[in-house]
């Protein structure tokens, strides 16, 4: 049964399977295991990034395409929800219109960029996507009447998804049964469905051709596959899934602006997570997103505790200052790349083969 659900792509490592089960259960039970607004926000962001990173892994890990325009489609999904609900009101129809409109725009842009850019060499394609993403960021910042400009758009969602809506006055296991909890589980179910859909894609005959193109583009072309068609299709699918991730983020935050979904920092985070988790595995998106975002969210708190614990050693206390969290995050990334060159998933699978 699990084999069919996972599209016959099992983790192939007992340790990896156990880690994935723990992470998925941890995310599913976050409201009950880790009460508090911050923990719920981190878990929701992890769900969004799992979809975003997995969609980028389809492009980079399975097709071998380096694109810096991925956050553009992420932003389109977020702006689709923001603009639609601002214009049409906090209704389910507005959410549907926002999702469908952003998916349509993402499809067209991905098709155009893919069709005209995938015929060039990899480095030139990467530069073209970077230019397109930068142009879209500038456009989003300047079209104040539509996007809210630099201030972004704050909007409302259907009342049933808002924190003020309560299903019961009596908490369940100490957790309030309100709209925010329902919104979180809506994100959880959506992330699971989208992730399983991506697993199905990469394990289909289409996915096998993408991997053949990644390994040897000329050989794939020689045996009859139209490489441009497959790569363009991969770029479109990747864009559509990234668009859905953006819509998920907007629904959760009830706000969107250029820095929230279109910044280049998000693109760098996605690249780091793919490397940490393991390229060409999809499962790496789950592990990498969870580890990276937990470190990003709680590293300052840990450093603050460490700095206070060694206050008698001024030099060490200064080194562990919470203001230096980016330095320590960089150190952790370097160590992860050094000890896990194939990512966490690759390392655990290799260890399983040796045993």
Cα(345)–Cα(349) distance, integer angstroms: 6
Domains of the chain by start residue, with CATH: 2-354 (1.10.3470)
Phi, psi at 170, each rounded to 5°? -95, 120
- % of the chain with per-residue pLDDT over 90: 42
SS3 of residue 342 by DSSP: coil
Of residues 95 and 336, more confidently modeled: 95
Q: Nearest CA to 55 among 43, 38, 67?
A: 67
The answer on pLDDT for 353 being more than 80 is: no
The answer on pLDDT for 202 being more than 90 is: yes
Give residue 172's pLDDT band: very low, low, confident or very high (50, 70, 90). Answer: confident
Residues 258 and 152 sit within 8 Å (Cβ to Cβ)? yes
Find the farthest-apart pair of alpha carbons in the chain and give their distance in angstroms, rounded.
70
Give residue 128's pLDDT band: very low, low, confident or very high (50, 70, 90). Answer: confident
Q: What is the mean pLDDT of residues 239-262?
A: 94
The answer on pLDDT for 355 being more than 70 is: no
What pLDDT is recorded for position 339?
79
Would you give the DSSP letter of residue 255? E
Give residues with Cβ within 8 angstroms of 317, minimum separation 6. 307, 308, 310, 311
Cα(275)–Cα(281) distance, integer angstroms: 11
SS3 for 269-329 is HHHHHHHHHCCCCCHHHHHHHHHHHHHHHHHHHHHHHHHHHCCCCHHHHHHCCHHHHHHHH
Pick the range with the lowest mean pLDDT from 7-11, 187-191, 279-283.
7-11
What pLDDT is recorded for position 308?
80
The answer on pLDDT for 243 being more than 90 is: yes
The answer on pLDDT for 266 being more than 80 is: yes
Pick the range with the lowest mean pLDDT from 61-70, 123-132, 267-276.
123-132
Q: What is the mean pLDDT of residues 42-57?
A: 96
The answer on pLDDT for 178 being more than 90 is: no
Q: What is the mean pLDDT of residues 239-257?
A: 95
What pLDDT is recorded for position 2?
66
CB-count exposure of residue 297 (10 Å: 0-12, 13-18, 19+): middle
Q: What is the pLDDT of residues 275-333, one digit of tens each?
A: 889 888 999 999 999 999 998 888 888 888 888 887 887 777 888 887 777 788 788 88
What pLDDT is recorded for position 36?
81
H/E element, 235: helix 227-253
Q: What is the mean pLDDT of residues 224-234?
A: 87
Q: Nearest CA to 86 among 164, 160, 162, 152?
A: 152
What pLDDT is recorded for position 173?
74
What pLDDT is recorded for position 120?
65
Q: What is the pLDDT of residues 192-201, one digit of tens each?
A: 999 999 999 9
The answer on pLDDT for 40 being more than 90 is: yes
What pLDDT is recorded for position 97?
95
What pLDDT is recorded for position 220?
84
Query: What sign does the CA torsion over 13, 15, 21, 24 have?
Result: negative
What pLDDT is recorded for position 336?
80
Of residues 160 and 326, more confidently modeled: 160
Residues 52 and 81 sit within 8 Å (Cβ to Cβ)? no
Cα(273)–Cα(72) distance, integer angstroms: 18
Residues 282 and 191 sit within 8 Å (Cβ to Cβ)? no
Of residues 288 and 164, more confidently modeled: 288
CB-count exposure of residue 344 (10 Å: 0-12, 13-18, 19+): buried
Give residue 246's pLDDT band: very low, low, confident or very high (50, 70, 90). Answer: very high
Give residue 6's pLDDT band: very low, low, confident or very high (50, 70, 90). Answer: confident
What pLDDT is recorded for position 321?
80
């Amino acid at each position: 049964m699990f084999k069919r659900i996972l599209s016959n792509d099992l983790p192939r490592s007992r340790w990896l399977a156990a880690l994935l089960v723990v992470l998925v259960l941890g995310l599913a039970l976050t409201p009950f295991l880790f009460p508090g607004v911050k923990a719920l926000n981190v878990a929701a962001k992890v769900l969004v990034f799992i979809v975003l990173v997995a969609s980028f892994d389809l492009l980079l890990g399975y097709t071998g395409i380096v694109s810096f325009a991925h956050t553009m489609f992420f932003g389109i999904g977020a702006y689709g929800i923001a603009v639609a609900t601002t214009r049409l009101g906090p209704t389910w129809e507005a959410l549907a219109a926002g999702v469908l409109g952003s998916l349509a725009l993402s499809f067209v842009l991905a098709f155009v960029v893919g069709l005209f850019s995938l015929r060039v060499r990899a480095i030139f394609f990467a530069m073209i996507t970077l230019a397109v993403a930068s142009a879209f960021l500038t456009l989003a910042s300047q079209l104040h009447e539509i996007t809210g400009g630099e201030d972004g758009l704050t909007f409302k969602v259907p009342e049933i998804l808002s924190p003020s809506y309560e299903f019961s006055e009596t908490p369940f296991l100490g957790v309030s049964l309100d709209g925010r909890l329902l919104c979180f589980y809506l994100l959880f179910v959506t992330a699971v469905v989208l992730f399983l859909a991506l697993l199905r894609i990469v394990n289909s005959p289409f996915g096998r051709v993408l991997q053949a193109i990644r390994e040897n583009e000329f050989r794939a072309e020689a045996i009859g596959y139209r490489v441009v068609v497959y790569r363009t299709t991969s770029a479109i699918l990747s864009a559509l899934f990234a668009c859905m991730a953006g819509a998920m983020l907007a629904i959760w935050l009830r706000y969107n602006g250029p820095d929230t979904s279109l910044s280049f920092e998000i693109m760098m985070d996605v690249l780091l997570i793919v490397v940490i988790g393991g390229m060409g595995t999809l499962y790496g998106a789950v592990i990498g997103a969870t580890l990276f975002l937990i470190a990003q969210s709680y590293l300052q708190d840990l450093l603050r505790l460490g700095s206070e614990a060694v206050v008698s050693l001024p030099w060490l206390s200064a080194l562990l200052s919470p203001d230096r969290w980016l330095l320590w995050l960089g150190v952790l990334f370097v160590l992860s790349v050094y000890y896990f060159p194939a990512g966490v998933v690759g390392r655990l699978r290799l260890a399983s083969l040796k045993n």
